[in-house]
């Protein structure tokens, strides 16, 4: 039996070897090296020089990072996540009503999600250009992506447009798993539809809501493609996000700052982990109040 | 309505409200569904219309249908820009290679986690779950160094140069390598293999098949559905990927399609009809795959919540 177990161990590591190679190289080592780089000054031309906390100090005093990228990113998450979550829940609820043409609707809703972020961005650049479709339809002449007041909201709109269909599918799968008997029981107890929705559907959907919000939070904190293609952080840094700053410092600026980009990426990771844990507590915590 | 059979349930306190609601329900939900359907299709529809109009009439009315109609923009994209077919080919190479390898390697890893006992199993599994929450930005710089110039450049021991990087900068191999297996895929396959009965394997073992034989001859064939789901999500993710190819690739000849389109936009901003015609080309393969395998896409999204793994 023990030789069987040993041979299982060997087989397991053979089967896992591609994963372990990639994990150790591109995840574990990479995270460690990013932490190391955050304490160095590195411009690719010369080897990294130990810099202690100087890189951290500079990032935390960097105007672009502290006054633009961080607040912009939080604002982005705070607007996009609630809107797309509520919208997708409403759509999923409507889809769950056993109406006709459900399959057709489902296909249509998923279309924006299968289109690549670059293509959708290119489309939105044109839709929201000064002579674009949106202005033509609304009879306006706003330069959406070049105006500090509208650029960031236009990108948020794009994000909501692309993700809502995907999130709707997740909610729909969750709704369909709720046993019908529970609804019948609620009806016998004299609950009206709103009460049923509030006291039966929502609590039972809590794990799915947590999941959808988590996926949303992780995704929106990393927003990059759309910003890169549509505005490159402008106008006047009004659409610069943390992920964009990281790319800019590490790969785009004329004087490359790998160390400080590493600092920013660690800060982003810590923020995502904290927010994900906090919202788990909030969503699960609200359950104990209701029950 | 008055003669409709009485409900089996006794009328609830809000009975009148309920009947109103029952009558309003279907139209209300249809209105919601149709409204979002229009929003979801409008940008793509207007893009299609625009790309089917001649460049010189691009901004003339009508807005809602292509008049005058032409396929000229599509012809221009394919015939006049040699780079365009090149980008399609590059994208196909990257997406197909990554998909095939990732499906195989994720299935292998998932089977090991689901069925075999080995040292450090729990630690590795937990590490994998944690790694799924890590944003790509935090590994971006070291991965760029490992793929390209190396962690330590010109490292020599006793006059022998030790490479610390793969030297794959501006090479499709560099785009492919880190993607050949992924934590989400391994996790998804682990969950799947945990759910299938052990009897199959036990019978095969009695027949004298070893673990690897069982995996390749029995397990892989019965996980076709799951593998296809993983393959579709992987292909879609790779076909649309932007950040990592942007970091690795430098010359336009080596670009993948999304990268090429972004570059193309910068070069031919005034010919936006052609940019958009090219963009729709990028969407076409995924659209076809989606219509062919919609069931698997939906299944994958509903279980993993991700459009790219």
Which segments in chain A show pLDDT lower than 70? Answer: 1-4, 285-291
Dihedral sign computed on CA atoms, order A167, B238, B106, B134: negative
Return the exposure string of B116-127: e unless at least 16 CB atoms fall within 10 Å of the residue's CB, then b: bebeeeeebeee
Report the distance separating Cα A234 and Cα B309, nearest Å. Answer: 30
Say if residue B9's pLDDT is above 60.
no
Per-residue pLDDT at B13 = 52
Which of A221, A231, A225 has its CA nearest to residue A247? A225
Say if residue B8's pLDDT is above 60.
no
Element (H, E) at A49: strand A49-50
Q: 3-class SS at A129?
A: coil
Confidence of residue B200 (pLDDT cuts 50, 70, 90): confident
Residue A270 contacts B where some CB pair is shorter than 8 Å = no
What mean pLDDT do residues B220-237 have? 91
What ipTM was reported for this prediction?
0.90
Say if residue B129's pLDDT is above 50.
yes
Do the beta carbons of residue B117 and residue A11 sit within 8 Å?
Answer: no
Per-residue pLDDT at B39 = 94
In tens, the pLDDT along A232-287 reads 998 999 999 999 999 999 999 988 999 999 999 999 999 999 998 898 888 776 54
Cβ under 8 Å to A: B residues 27-86: 29-30, 32-33, 36-37, 39-41, 43-44, 46-47, 50, 59, 63
- What's the mean pLDDT when you consider all of chain B? 86
Say if residue B3's pLDDT is above 50.
no
In tens, the pLDDT along B245-275 reads 999 999 999 999 999 999 988 887 778 888 8
Which of B40, B179, B297 is the best substitution to test chain A (most A C-beta atoms within 10 A)? Answer: B40
Say which residue, A105 or B16, is predicted with more confidence. A105
What architecture does CATH give domain A63-290?
Orthogonal Bundle (1.10)
Say which residue, B166 or B210, is predicted with more confidence. B166
Which of B269, B50, B242 has its CA nearest to residue A228? B242
Per-residue pLDDT at A291 = 33
Which of B170, B171, B184, B169 has its CA nearest to residue B106? B184
> Domains in chain B, ordered, with CATH?
84-256+294-304 (1.10.3720.10)
Cβ under 8 Å to B: A residues 141-200: 161, 164-166, 169-170, 172-173, 187-188, 190-193
Say which residue, A286 or B234, is predicted with more confidence. B234
Per-residue pLDDT at B154 = 73
Residue B7 contacts A where some CB pair is shorter than 8 Å = no
Half-sphere CA count of A211, side-chain side, radius 13 A: 21
Q: Number of residue pairs across A and B with CB atoms under 8 Å?
A: 278
Domain boundaries, chain A: 2-37, 63-290
Say if residue B49's pLDDT is above 70.
yes
**pTM for the whole thing?**
0.90
């Amino acid at each position: 039996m023990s030789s069987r177990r040993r041979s299982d161990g060997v087989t397991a590591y053979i089967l896992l070897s591609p994963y372990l190679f990639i994990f150790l190289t591109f995840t574990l080592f990479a995270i460690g090296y990013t932490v190391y780089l955050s304490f160095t000054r590195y411009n690719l031309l010369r080897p990294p020089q130990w810099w202690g906390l100087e890189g951290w100090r500079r990032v935390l005093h960097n105007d672009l990072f502290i006054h633009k990228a961080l607040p912009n990113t939080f604002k982005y998450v705070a607007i996009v996540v609630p809107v797309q979550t509520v919208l997708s829940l409403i759509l999923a609820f409507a889809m769950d009503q056993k109406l006709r043409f459900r399959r057709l609707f489902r296909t249509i809703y998923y279309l924006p999600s299968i289109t690549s972020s670059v293509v959708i961005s290119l489309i939105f650049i044109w839709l929201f250009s000064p002579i674009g479709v949106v202005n033509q339809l609304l009879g306006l002449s706003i330069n959406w992506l070049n105006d500090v007041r509208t650029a960031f909201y236009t990108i948020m709109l794009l994000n909501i447009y692309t993700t809502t269909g995907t999130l709707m599918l997740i909610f729909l799968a969750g709704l369909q798993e709720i046993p019908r008997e529970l609804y019948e029981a609620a009806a016998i107890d004299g609950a009206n539809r709103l009460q049923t929705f509030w006291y039966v559907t929502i609590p039972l959907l809590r794990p799915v809501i947590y999941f959808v919000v988590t996926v949303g939070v992780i995704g929106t904190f990393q927003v990059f493609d759309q910003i890169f293609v549509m505005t490159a952080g402008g106008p006047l840094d009004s659409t610069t996000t943390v992920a964009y700053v990281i790319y800019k410092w590490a790969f785009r600026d004329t004087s490359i700052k790998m160390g400080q980009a590493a600092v920013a990426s660690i800060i982003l990771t810590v923020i995502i982990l904290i927010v994900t844990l906090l919202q788990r507590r909030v969503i699960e915590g609200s359950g104990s109040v209701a029950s | 309505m008055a003669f409709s059979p009485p409900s089996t349930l006794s009328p609830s306190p809000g009975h009148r409200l309920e009947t109103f609601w029952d009558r309003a329900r279907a139209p209300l939900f249809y209105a919601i569904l149709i409204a979002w359907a229009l929003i979801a299709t409008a940008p793509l529809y207007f893009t299609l219309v625009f790309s089917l109009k001649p460049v010189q009439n691009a901004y003339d009315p009508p807005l809602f249908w292509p008049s005058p109609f032409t396929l000229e923009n599509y012809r221009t994209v394919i015939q006049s820009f040699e780079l365009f077919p090149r980008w399609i080919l590059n994208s196909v190479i990257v997406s197909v290679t990554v998909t095939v390898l990732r499906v195989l390697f994720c299935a292998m890893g998932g089977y090991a986690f689901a069925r075999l006992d080995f040292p450090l199993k729990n630690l590795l599994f937990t590490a994998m779950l944690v790694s799924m929450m890590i944003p790509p930005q935090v590994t971006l710089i070291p991965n760029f160094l490992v793929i390209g110039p190396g962690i330590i450049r010109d490292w020599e021991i006793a006059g022998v140069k030790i490479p610390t990087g793969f030297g794959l900068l501006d090479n499709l191999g560099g785009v492919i390598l880190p993607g050949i297996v992924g934590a989400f895929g391994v996790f998804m396959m682990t969950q799947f293999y945990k759910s299938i009965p052990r009897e199959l394997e036990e019978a095969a073992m009695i027949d004298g098949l070893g673990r690897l034989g069982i995996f390749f001859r029995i397990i892989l064939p019965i996980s076709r559905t799951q593998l296809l789901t993983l393959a579709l999500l992987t292909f879609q993710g790779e076909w649309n990927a932007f950040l990592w190819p942007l970091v690795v690739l430098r010359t336009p000849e080596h670009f993948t399609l999304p990268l090429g389109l972004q570059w193309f936009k910068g070069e031919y901003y005034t010919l936006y009809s052609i940019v958009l015609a090219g963009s729709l080309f990028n969407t076409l393969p995924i659209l076809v795959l989606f219509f062919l395998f919609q069931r698997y896409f939906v299944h994958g999204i509903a279980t993993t919540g991700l459009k790219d793994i």
